[in-house]
Amino acid sequence: MAILEVRDIHTYYGNIQALKGVTLEVEEGEIVTLIGSNGAGKSTTLRSISGLTPPREGSIVFRGQDIAFMPPQEIVRLGILQSPEGRHCFQRMTVRENLELGAYLRRDRQVAEDMERVFDLFPRLKERERQKAGTMSGGEQQMLAIGRALMGRPRLLLLDEPSMGIAPILVERIYETIAEINRQGTTILLVEQNANYALGVSHRGYVLETGTVALADASDRLRENPDVQRAYLGA
């Protein structure tokens, strides 16, 4: 059953059209990835879903409700949380304070429980609980950005370029944790320029080219596709 259905969305930055009729869906419990070159529209697709750059045309249906023109804070309340490209941690705040901000819309009593879950997923954050985010490495800040999104208890987690600017050893650790987050029940839509990592962890994938979906298939079949191998897998 699809938790998210994106149908024929057209998104613009001013007069420049970034998405030209993107259609995709994400089923409950999946990891779905969007791959493509720079400027293909991957991040714009996530921004359209999260309400940061709403589409001018088309529909975005989340759990049966059209959210295409809903304010971002309302989309968060529904359960769509994003870990943005570039991480955007609050540099002068501690790890714990950043994580607490991720739960700012919540009024339940499980926030402390979820904080411990984040620390279990990312033990390095527990070690640096009182350290200012701006003093940590890029990989550690990426862990923090994902953890902050998890503090909102997402039904759908949007991950934008989690491997960007990170040492390879930490990229592997982050992707192991992404798989574990999914095993624990969180549906994930992943944007990633490193197609090897993205297709390795996901169930299905979409290839974006200049604002359109050029190809969609199971991730293992995309890895075997000669065109995908030449364009994105370094073959």
pTM (predicted TM-score): 0.92
Instruction: Look up the CATH superfamily of 2-232.
Output: P-loop containing nucleotide triphosphate hydrolases (3.40.50.300)
Mean pLDDT value of segment 197-205: 96
Domain ranges of the chain: 2-232
Higher pLDDT, 172 or 1: 172
pLDDT digits (tens, 9 = 90+) for 120-167: 999 999 999 999 999 999 889 999 999 999 999 999 999 999 988 888
pLDDT digits (tens, 9 = 90+) for 170-189: 888 999 999 999 999 999 99
3-state SS record for the chain: CEEEEEEEEEEEECCEEEEEEEEEEEECCCEEEEECCCCCCHHHHHHHHHCCCCCCEEEEEECCEECCCCCHHHHHHHCEEEECCCCCCCCCCEHHHHHHHHCCCCCCCCHHHHHHHHHHHCHHHHHCCCCEHHHCCHHHHHHHHHHHHHCCCCCEEEEECCCCCCCHHHHHHHHHHHHHHHHCCCEEEEECCCHHHHHHHCCEEEEEECCEEEEEEEHHHHHHCHHHHHHHCCC
